[in-house]
Amino acid sequence: MKPHERIILPLDVSDIERAHRLVERLFLLVGIFKVGFEAIYSMMAQLLSPEGATEHLMGRIQSLAAKITPEKTFLDVKLSDIPNTVGNAVKALSALNVKMINIHASAGKDVIRTAAMNKGESLLFGVTVLTSIGTSECVSIFGVEPEPKVLQLATMLADNGADGIICAPKEGLALRKNHDFDGLKIACPNIRPTYMMTPEERARVKDDQDIDRQMTPGEAIRAGIDMLVIGRPITKPPAEVGSPADAAKRIAEEIAQTS
């Protein structure tokens, strides 16, 4: 992959006009746009509001869909339910021919297997331990610390037909040291360029991610991570970095120097 193609940009916006602007400015500078709950449910709420599906709103949604081509789309839906329900949902979404779809790996091996059978040409990724969860909370939820839990879920994903795994970069490093997972692609949120790690920037931009599980883009690529989910460092960069486009270019340059 080219350096910029390793960047996954979350469209975590509730304003469709802002989503348009981000896509227009960054389409050639990132590899994939991640469309998640905030964008999906915001558009759904607008369509179901008393004003309803106005011609203007429908036009803007159609325009946005045309700009985000399927091969550049990651549907971050984090499906978690019984196998039949998840399988049917994945089958419906895969008909869109998007690049990536994800489920919660903790939903179990039968869910993973059923989703894999219905993913079509899309890549199926499994979410493991959310990157907002610290060690003590992970123990309270799963009974173990993040790394052994991620390794356990990675085994389920690898054994049941998934294409990739989503985890914090620290666990991604552990996965890449284990050749049992060579067949899994690794995509990692919780990537922070050095310019976002200063005390001033941490105070300016509230970070809800676990700091102990973070890496810089360069560290993550050196660790063998395939794709980097990077949101606020691009969409809300420090003034000295410049625009979102400037931030994306800077991160791609760091990846290029590391690759």
State the number of CA atoms in the 13 A half-sphere of 77 facing the CB. 19
Residue 149 burial (CB < 10 Å; 0-12/13-18/19+)?
Answer: buried
Distance between CA 144 and CA 136 in Å, rounded?
9
Within 10 angstroms of residue 189's Cβ, the number of other Cβ atoms is 23
Q: Name, in order, each residue with C-beta under 8 angstroms of 102's C-beta and a sequence gap of 6 or more.
A: 74, 75, 76, 77, 78, 79, 124, 125, 126, 127, 166
Check if the beta carbon of residue 176 is closer than 8 Å to that of residue 223.
yes
How do 73-79 and 123-127 pair as beta strands? unpaired
Point out the catalytic residue in the list 67, 78, 91, 236: 78
**78 carries an active-site annotation:** yes
Q: Name, in order, each residue with C-beta under 8 angstroms of 89's C-beta and a sequence gap of 6 or more.
A: 77, 79, 81
Q: ∠ CA(40), CA(44), CA(47), 5° rounding?
A: 145
Residues forming the active site: 78
